[in-house]
Structures are given as structure tokens and as C-alpha cells.
Amino acid sequence: MLPNPNIDYSELPRALQHMLERSRSKVAEAMPRRSFLKLTGSLGLAVGIFPHMAAAQSTNTDAAAASLKPTEQPSAFVQIAPNGEVTVTINRLEFGQGVQTALPMILAEELDADWSLVRSQLGTNDAAYVDPLFGIHLTGGSNTIKNSFTQYRELGARVRAMLLSAAAARLNVDVSTLRTEAGVVLATGGRKLGYGELAEAAMALPVPQTIALKDPKDFRIIGKPTQRLDAQAKSSGQQSFGIDFKLPGQLTAVVARPPVFGARIASLDDSAARAIKGVKAVLRIPLDRGAEGVTVIADGYWQASQGRDALKVEWDTSAVEKVDSEKQLAQFREIATRPGPRQFDADMAPLETAPLSLEAEFVFPYLAHAAMEPLNCTVRLSDDRAEIWMGSQSAGLDAGAAATVLGLKPEQVVVNVLTSGGGFGRRFSSSSDTAMEACQIAKAAKAAGLDAPVRMLWSREDDMRGGYYRPTHLHRARIGFDKQGNVLAWDHTIVGQSILTGTVFEKFQVKNGIDAATTEGMRNPYPLPMRLTVHHPVVNVPVLWWRSVGSTHTAFVMETLLDDIARATDQDPVSYRMKMFGEEHTRHRDALQLAVDKSGYGSKTLAEGRGWGVAVHESFSSVVAYVVEASVVDGQPKLHRVTAGVHCNLAVNPRTVEAQVQGAAIMGLSTCLAGSEITLKDGVVEQGNFSEYTMARITDVPEFDVNIVPSADAPTGMGEPGLPPLAPAFANAISRLTGKPVRQMPFNLA
């Protein structure tokens, strides 16, 4: 490819300089040196008190106005041992995204902790651990760092202030003569006190009303590429996951679920199952969506699954819709022709007179999250209390759902959040199906006289057939444009199930019959005259957010169609996008420019048979641009090289940002590969295991170069934003090679 005439390449280093300056001056405005936070009232809660104290405090309405919120109580988040070890409690699920390292980094920064002595642990459904912005327990939307950055800084700063007060009292000096450094309070004359020596005294002090936060230029932990705190444990089999949790006497349960969502039992013969050695009980239980199932409870998983295999169950599927993927596509096509609610409503008259036009239809399949650790949940039940251990992205909702099933009050249920082997949205079940199923099992077991904690464990097939998929979507577009590539009218229709309808988010996110989780990523930031019509058919397949949610399909549609227009009008795909980003969307520009510069796009000559592909997308407040090299080998698309430009503002742990970009991109790559789809036939999911559902393997994986735009603005999240632009960048490269647009996921070049 020739150098792009619209970009002055000699300007690039200078452009980069400007960019850096701009981000620096922004910080000066955003975070004045020694900004003081005013906190009303004072409170006696101190370091080291147990987390539930914070929750108890929050229910004291008299004190509430004059107190810190539970999410602001150091006692719920920080423990300092006499040997100086600092244990930070995480208000999220750690399932790969690295928050169990990033949040302690943020807190340790303001605490001035010795990083080598920092440890971390996961929390519970205690009120202290809600998302400080949303007020519910939530690991999702890539919002941990975004929403808890200030929270964890303030927590660290408060504890530091308390340690300083304790040291001043101990040394009988004015606090202003003291400073802190790497876990130590330093006084004049070379006197030192370790945090461990001070922690107990600091505990007795009131939490300060005002605290000072550091100037970001003084950060020595935040922003530094840092090894994960769990790297050792996760490289030696020592890390404990939900599936590994074991209580004395614990039994394992598996469930025979109906082949069609929502179906019930017609007849059951469990005599052979009961005869299997190790099987303790076979019980009918109510399941999600009005279904009914059979649980087999045994000494271990093997015995339980042997028991399940021996069940003879006839299912009654007469009352439920039996979805068929092929018929569904025809239905969606028909629905797309109907009028429906509109999100954008530009004038479509220019469509008839536009000099150039294109029409496109896209089909996206159902996708399973397929986290490597199958779903599981352990429940210990007594008359007035339930304790639950699970990898939950929504401990509060799961606790509430458990209380409902068990007939307990919410405060009688504790959910202990355990490290998970992935999740990608599946462990934030909008219906709490995992927790509810485990509680139904525990309840039935207790009623049957089994007095033992029970771990529910899904097989891979249960997981793949168990629903809660990324919904299938049909997109249709008719676009009129001129010879310069200016879009004159863009008529777009989306047909797909609503994820948020019926969930706690419906009232915020579903407006005028349109689910924001379906349309996020459409149009913006491009200034396009679009009319967007949305249909949400109701289908008997449970659907859910799946890493990057709506952007899994909207980014593909937007970024490939814009590339088609650029190609049809002989424009460079980079400058075409840059022109539309204008002066306003600087993060998009900077991310794309960085990827372009590092990739050699426009300057280097590609190997024979390779083509360039470009895509940029903002999701969850971060922008990721990819410039990729791909080819077609024996009719199969092959991705060789990915250069990323990432804008997530301040990167708290650049090493994790790099990993998240690689991981999300590879998950995006999976969706392009043949066999990456969930299909249904006569209501039954056709895929059961990894032989039938493709996920990228090491041989599919390209080389990566991840670059982060320098910035000191308040950080945004990176768990998801690396996913959406990968597939369209890959598709654009393939289209440039073959001359044919890619309109189907997974790719089908036939």
C-alpha cells in the first residue's frame, strides 16, 4: 500500500508530542496538587475491624448523615499485620482481568505501602463491597478501575493519615514533621516506625474527615508495569478457584436439565441412578425459567455424573417454544421489514438521490461464554442461615435470589466471592440462575434429610447448552453516499433479543422499547445521518451480556461498512476515519495514529499475499484501534499480526492492559473462526463441547504489539474494549484481499 496522501508522515513525532502535552495539561486541571477531600462528620471505625461492622454502620440511620459510606470505610478494605503485611480486600470478582492486583496498586500508592508486602483477597456481598457508583455488587462493564480508582485512593490515603497520627502520638511530635515511605513512617533524626508496629494504635483512632491525595506525578506504583499478585499461585496449581472449594463432608451435585429451555419432567425412573455407588440422593428440583430438573447428589463429581447418566427421564416440551436457528433467521428477516421504534431518526430522503449506495445484511450467531472453569456454587444451609461460595460477578443479586429461594431474609445469606476461571459476563447472571439452582439443590437435599454442604458443578456440556448466550442478531443497512465518501443517509435495522428487559437494569437502560445493550456502539463517534430501527423479538433462548456486549456486533457492522465506503470511493481507510473523527474525538485519533505508526502501515511493504485491515472502536469508555495483517490461505482467513493503539487514559498496570488487549482480541478472533457459533435444532442446542464450538488455539494466534497512548486522565476500564475492533479489522483485511465484503460471523469466505 502506498503512503496515504492525506497524512503528513513527517508530522507524526510532533503530533505525538502535542498529544503528550495535551494529556499532561489536562491532568493539571483535573487533579490539583494536594486536593483536599472534605468528609462530613467523624467516625470511630478504624483499621482492622471486621467488614460486617461497616455494613452494620450503614444501617444506623442516625449516624448515616454524619458518617462515611460503607464503601469508604478503611476497616472493610485494609488489614495491616504486625509484620507489616498489608492485605487489601477487593470489591469485585477476580476472573482474569487483574483487578486483584490493580486495586491494591491504587490503594498502596496512597498508603505509601511497601509493595512487596501487599497481599489481596476477595470480599463478600457485604454492603461495603458494592460498586461505589452503582450501589450494587458488580463486576462488569469494564468499570472496576473506572469506578473504584478514587475510592481505593481515598481508602489508602485515610489509612496513611491514621498511621501518621498514631506515629505522631507515639513519638510525641507534630504530625507535620513526619513523612511516609514504602511502609514506614519517618521522623526527623532518622527515627522510623514500620506500619506493622503502628497498625494496632492506628486502629483505635477516628477515621479522618479530610484527606489529601497525591499529585499523579508523584505516583510510584500506579502506572508502573507490575507483576500480578497471583502470578505465583496461578503458575503452580496453588490458586484456589470456586470449583476447588471444599467443606468437610461436602457432597457434589449435578443436574439433569431439560433439552429445551423451560421444559418439565414427564416421567422419571431413577432406580438405576440410585443404585450407583456413592450416590446419596436423586431429587426433582425447580429450575430457571419454569423448568424442572433432576439433581443427583453424590460423594464426588464422577459418582454424581454416573448417576445422572443412569437416569431415565422423559421430558415434556409441549408448552415451550422450540427454537430452530434456520427458521429463526427467516423470522428475523421478516421482522426487519416491519416498522419499529427508532433510536436515531435522520431524514432518509437522500437515499433515493445519492450518487452511490450499498446494501448489506449481517448475521451474528448465539455465542457461549465458555469460561474454562465450568459453573459451580457451594451452599451450606442451616435453619436460619445460608453461606454460599461462588465466583460471582453480582454477589448482591445472587444473595437476594438465594434468600428468595431459601425463604430467608437477605441478611441471613452470605455470598463469599471466589476467584474464577474466567466468566466474560456469564457469572453475572441476570436471573441469578447459578445461585438459584445451587440453592434449590441445597433446599431439596435438606428436606430429604441430607445434612451436608453441597457443591453444584456443571459439566462442559451443561455449560455450553445451558443458555445465557450472546444473542443472535440480524443487521440490515442501506447507505447512500457521494464520491467523496460523505454519507448522505444511512438506514439501519437491528433485530435481536433484548438482554436487559426483565433485569434490574431495564429501567435505566431500556428506553422507548430499545435496549441500550443492543445498540451501544452504533453510529458514534462518526457524524452520520442515521435512522436506526430496533426490534427485540422474544425468543425461548436465555441471553446475556458477553464480553463487550452490544459492541460484539455493532463494532463489526460500523467498521466494515465504513471500510466498504472508503474502498468504494478510493480512500485510505485510516484517513477516511481520521477525517470523520475531526478535532473532537482526540482519543480515537490518538489510538488509531499510534497503531498506524507502530504497525508500519503506509510505509512498510507487506509480505506477498498479505493485506492490511484497520478498525477503531470505543466501548466502556476506552478506545482501541487495530491495524492488522492478514491473508487467505487455502480459502481460510489467517491473521498474522495485530498492532494495537489503546486509549484507556491512565493505565494503572500497563502489563495487565497489554494482557487484556491480547486476551480480548483473541476472544474476538475466536468469533471469526469456523465453528464459533451456537445453533439450535428443534429447541435443542446442537453444540456440547469444544469439539463442536471453536475457540482460538495457539496455532490461530497472531503476533501482537500493544501500545498505550500516554495519559494521566482518570483511568477507564480495559476488560472488554480490546474485543470489538478485532473482528472488523480482520474482516477489512480479508475484504481488501478478496474484493468481497465479509458479512457473516463466523467468517464464511465460500
Residue 422 touches ligand FES, criterion: CB under 6 A: yes
Residue 231 touches other proteins, criterion: CB under 8 A: yes
Question: Which of other proteins, ligand FES, none does residue 370 bind (CB under 5 to 8 Å by kind)?
Answer: other proteins
- Window of 339-347, 466-474, 606-614, 657-665 that interacts with other proteins by CB under 8 A: 657-665
List of residues 6+ apart from 439 with CB closer than 8 A:
379, 381, 386, 388, 401, 402, 405, 406
Rounded to a whole number of angstroms, the minimum distance from the CB of residue 429 to ligand FES is 20
Question: Which of ligand FES, other proteins, none does residue 374 bind (CB under 5 to 8 Å by kind)?
Answer: other proteins
Residue 370 touches other proteins, criterion: CB under 8 A: yes
Dist. CA 419–CA 638, nearest whole Å: 34
Dist. CA 139–CA 625, nearest whole Å: 25
Q: Of 89, 102, 88, 104, give the one whose Cα is nearest residue 143.
A: 102
List of residues 6+ apart from 707 with CB closer than 8 A:
594, 595, 598, 643, 644, 645, 646
Distances (CA, A) of 745 to 363, 550, 626, 673: 6, 14, 19, 8
Cβ–Cβ under 8 Å, residues 526 and 558: yes
Residue 231 touches ligand FES, criterion: CB under 6 A: no
Residue 121 touches other proteins, criterion: CB under 8 A: no
Q: How many residues bind ligand FES (CB under 6 A)?
A: 4
Dist. CA 141–CA 616, nearest whole Å: 19
Question: Which of ligand FES, other proteins, none does residue 172 bind (CB under 5 to 8 Å by kind)?
Answer: none
Q: Which of 30, 231, 233, 372 binds ligand FES (CB under 6 A)?
A: 372
Name the residue nearer to other proteins (CB basis): 57 or 252. 252
Which parts of 390-449 interact with other proteins (CB under 8 A)?
419-424
- Window of 62-70, 516-524, 595-603, 700-708 that interacts with other proteins by CB under 8 A: 700-708
Cα of first residue to Cα of last residue in the chain, in angstroms, is: 26
- Window of 444-452, 519-527, 629-637, 685-693 that interacts with other proteins by CB under 8 A: 685-693
Cβ–Cβ under 8 Å, residues 198 and 82: no
Name the residue nearer to ligand FES (CB basis): 421 or 710. 421
Q: Which of 126, 288, 373, 720 binds other proteins (CB under 8 A)?
A: 373
Name the residue nearer to other proteins (CB basis): 235 or 748. 235
Dist. CA 605–CA 601, nearest whole Å: 8
Q: Which residue has the cell 450499498?
A: 358
Rounded to a whole number of angstroms, the minimum distance from the CB of residue 377 to ligand FES is 19
Which parts of 295-314 interact with other proteins (CB under 8 A)?
299-302
Name the residue nearer to ligand FES (CB basis): 70 or 663. 663
Rounded to a whole number of angstroms, the minimum distance from the CB of residue 422 to ligand FES is 5
Q: Of 591, 717, 714, 589, give the one whose Cα is nearest residue 660.
A: 717
Q: Of 732, 614, 729, 741, give the one whose Cα is nearest residue 358.
A: 741
Residue 97 touches other proteins, criterion: CB under 8 A: yes
Rounded to a whole number of angstroms, the minimum distance from the CB of residue 470 to other proteins is 14
All cell numbers assigned to 310: 443412569
Residue 746 touches ligand FES, criterion: CB under 6 A: no
Cβ–Cβ under 8 Å, residues 11 and 3: no
Dist. CA 720–CA 96, nearest whole Å: 12
Residue 223 touches ligand FES, criterion: CB under 6 A: no
Residue 636 touches other proteins, criterion: CB under 8 A: no
Name the residue nearer to other proteins (CB basis): 354 or 390. 390
Q: How many residues bind other proteins (CB under 8 A)?
A: 60
Beta carbons within 10 angstroms of residue 695's beta carbon: 17
Distances (CA, A) of 322 to 293, 500, 681: 18, 22, 8
Which parts of 70-129 interact with ligand FES (CB under 6 A)?
96
Which parts of 445-474 interact with other proteins (CB under 8 A)?
459-460
Q: Which of 2, 447, 538, 698 binds other proteins (CB under 8 A)?
A: 698
3-state SS of 110-131? Answer: HHCCCHHHEEEEECECCHHHCC
Residue 232 touches other proteins, criterion: CB under 8 A: yes
Residue 598 touches other proteins, criterion: CB under 8 A: no
Answer left, alpha or beta for residue 103, where phi above 0 means left and psi between -120 and 50 means alpha. Answer: alpha
- Window of 105-113, 379-387, 562-570, 696-704 that interacts with other proteins by CB under 8 A: 696-704
- Window of 173-181, 226-234, 438-446, 618-626 that interacts with other proteins by CB under 8 A: 226-234
Judge if the upstream peptide bond of residue 525 is cis by omega within 30 degrees of 0. yes
Contacts with ligand FES, residue ranges (CB under 6 A): 96, 372, 421-422
Contacts with other proteins, residue ranges (CB under 8 A): 95-98, 227-228, 230-241, 243-244, 246, 252, 277, 299-302, 370-374, 419-424, 459-460, 655, 659-660, 662-667, 689-691, 695-699, 701, 703-704
